[in-house]
Amino acid sequence: MPYPPFCTNRQETLQLATFQELSDFLAQVERRAFKQAAFAVRDDHSALDIVQDAMLKLSEKYSGRPLDELPMLFQRILQNTIRDYFRRQKVRSLWTTLFSSLSPSHESEDHDPLETLVPSDDSKNINSPSENLERSQLIALIEEALKSLPARQREAFLLRYWEELDVNQTAVAMGCSEGSVKTHCSRATHALAGILKSKGITL
């Protein structure tokens, strides 16, 4: 049944943003978004990455939306991207604290270091740009070292220390026992600590 004269398809009534309008919008908000991100994360390089990531997400997912919807969509994406940044920083801080807490003593393989680890509260501290750079370089080394681990150790490590699952959740996800999860995590953390030590890095 055709639409009556006073009613049209909603898609036809929307003024969808053109490619040029999207480009103009992004150019207009880029500077303000950068200041907002820089104020939140206190690091210009990270802020620039956040803004570029948010702009890319808007372009990829919402380029066909009406122009007047773009400001709210972009702001929501930007805030989510900033929150993702802090989540990654929290997890990465946990990683560095984890490796620095490893003792040379021989613990049993069913010991999961995360169960006794009390990470430092970085939320009260503002790292300097040099400290942020040093941590980023360290994390890059850890992430590269992860590739050399056996698959099950790498899977357990990422689920526990990246996805922040507890031992039971990790065991369910991996289809193994909680004891196996602890063994994989213990072996992974000690192997990674050994790799870092071989590169002259002592945390």
1-6 average pLDDT score = 45
Question: pLDDT band at residue 23, thresholds of 50, 70 and 90?
Answer: confident
Residue 161, pLDDT above cutoff 50: yes
pLDDT at residue 180, as a whole number: 93
pLDDT at residue 11, as a whole number: 44
The Cα–Cα gap between 58 and 53 comes to 9
Domain 102-198 class in CATH = mainly alpha
Residue 114, pLDDT above cutoff 60: no
pLDDT at residue 176, as a whole number: 93
Q: Is the pTM of this model over 0.85?
A: no
pLDDT tens-digit readout, 60-100: 888 788 888 889 999 999 998 988 888 777 766 666 666 66
The pair phi, psi for residue 200, each rounded to 5°, is 85, 15
pLDDT at residue 2, as a whole number: 47
Highest mean predicted confidence (pLDDT) among 6-10, 11-15, 131-135, 178-182: 178-182
Listed by start position, the domains of the chain span 15-87, 102-198
